[in-house]
Amino acid sequence: MLADLPSCGTPLSAVAARAGCAAPVAGPAVVDLVMDSRRAGPGSLFACVRGARADGHRHAAAAVAAGAVAVLADRPGRLPVDLGVPVLVVPSVRAVLGPVGALVAGDPADRLQVVAVTGSNGKTTTSTLLAGVLDTPGRRCGLLTTVGATVGRHTRTTALTTPEAPDLHRLLRWMVQRDAAAAVVEASSIALDVGRVDGLCAEVAVFTGFEPDHLDHHGTVEQYWASKARLFEPDRARVGVVVTDDPWGRRLADQARIPVVRVGTAADCDVRVVHGTSSAGGTEVLVERAGRRHALRSPVVGGVHVTNVAAAWTAAVVLGADPDDVADRLTHVDPPPGRGTLLTAPGAPLVVVDYAHTPGALADAVATAGRLRPAGEVHLVLGARGARDRWKRQGLGTAARAADHVWLTNEGSHGEDPAAIVAELAVGLLGSDARVRTVLDRRAAITAAVDAAGPQDVVLVVGRGHETLQDAPGALDPATTQRFSDADVARAALGEGRRRLAG
C-alpha cells in the first residue's frame, strides 16, 4: 500500500503541473512543501504565503539558503532578482497549497476513507466518537481534531484545529504509514475559508449544528455559515450528514449540492431523534431510521451531545457499517478530554470541565450541570478569550445567568486587559439572581469555587477544555504563556478539600 508513496521526492515538473503553471518547469525533486522559511530544508518547496502580518516573499532568500530547491509565488516582483532556484508563479499561492501539498505528500487521502466534520459546537466530540467507532485492530482510523492527531497508539500535537494544507496532507500520510484505512478530520470554518482542506474530498461530510461564532474573522453570520457550507460541495464531499435542529442546518440540507442525510428531532428527518437524555452516566439516544429504532449510548456527558451521538452513528452507517455494531461500539468510545470531563472526591462537589465557549454551548452546559446534581447549586467559572469574538462576551454573560454562582476570571487575555474582558461578561449578568465574584487569577478562581461548593453542588469550569497553555495571569503580552490545565487545577483543589475534611 505504501509502495507508491514518494520516497525520493516529486518531480518539480509534476508539482508545477498540479499548481497550474502554464509552462513546464524543470528542476530538482521536491520532498516537502513549507510555508515557514524556518522549516525549509534540503529538497523543500517554499510557498510564499501572504498573511495579515507577514509576506512570505520577503523570506524566500532565507528558505533557499536553508535548502529550498524551488519557490512558489504569486507576486514575483517582491522576490530578490535572482534566487538561484526555479520560481513557480501562480495567481494565488494559498489557492494551490492543498493540491500541491497533497501531491508532495503522495496524495494520501486517496488511500483513506475520509470523513470531515464541521459545525459551531460538537466537532471534536463527534469526530472522536466516529473515529472510535471506525477504529478496529484490523482497520485503523486516524483522528485529527483540535486536541491533536492520533492513529492507534501513535499521537502528534497540532497547533491549529485544522492544520494548514501542507501539514494536513503530511499528517494524512503519517496515518497511512501507520496502516490507517480511514481518517476523521475536524474542519473549522476558518480552515474552509482559507483553503486548509483543499485537495481533500471526503466520503462523508458532517454538520453538527450552527450558532454565530468567529465573526472577527468572517465579518458576518452569513459569511460564517457560507464558509461551513463549502464543505458540502461536490468537489469536497460525496454525501452529507446534517443535523437540522436549527434553521441553518435545515437551510444547508435544502441547498447542498450533494445527497444529504438529515438528522434531528423533526418528523421528516432520515434519522429521527425520538428521545435523548444526558446524565453523569453518559448520553442515551433513541433514533429511528427506515422504520427501525436503535438505542444508542455514549459515555460523553451533556445535553448538546444527543445530536452529536446521533450524527456520529449516522455517519458510520452511511459509510457502510452495521447499525447494531456501531451502536455497540459507541458505548466503549471515550469522549475527548475537556468535553464534559467529570471530577470528584468523597465529600466534595462534582467538577465538570468543558470547552463550552459560545453562548449556546454555555447555556446547555449550565443546564446539564443543574441536572447532574438537582439538589445542589451550580458554581460557574467563566472567562472569555482575549483578542477574538468580543461581540459574544455579553451573550456568554447572559447564558451564565442560569447558574447560582458565577466566578468571573481570566481565560487567556492574548494582549487584552483581563479586567476589561471580565467587565464585558458582567454586562450580560446585570440583574441576575446569581452571586457574581471576580477572581482574575484562574487558578485561584477554580480553587475558590471548589472550596465554596458543597458536596451536592456542581462546579462548572468552561472555556479551555483540554488546553494546557495559558497566558500568564494578568499578562498583556500574548507571547507570555505558562502550562495550565483546568482539570489539573480542579483535581488539586478537590484533593486539598478532601484533606481539610479529613483533618
Binding residues, by number, are: 37, 161-162, 188, 196
Cell, residue 469:
497553555
Beta carbons within 8 Å of 503's beta carbon, 6+ residues apart:
none
Place of cell 466566578: 407
What burial class does residue 293 get, using C-beta atoms within 10 Å of its C-beta: 0-12 exposed, 13-18 middle, 19+ buried?
A: exposed
| CA–CA distance, 336 with 119 (Å, rounded to integer) | 17
Question: Is residue 315 within 8 Å of 309, Cβ to Cβ?
Answer: no
Q: Which residue, 286, 302, 306, is CA-closest to 294?
A: 286
Q: What is the CA radius of gyration of the chain?
A: 24
Mark out the alpha helices in 288-414 (DSSP H runs): 305-318, 323-330, 359-372, 393-400
DSSP 50: B
Whole-angstrom CA distances from 50 to 47, 94, 195, 356 are 9, 8, 14, 32
| CA–CA distance, 404 with 427 (Å, rounded to integer) | 17
| Residue 336 backbone class (left: φ over 0; alpha: ψ -120 to 50; beta: rest) | beta
Going through 327-418 in order, the beta strands assigned E by DSSP cover: 341-343, 350-354, 378-382, 405-408
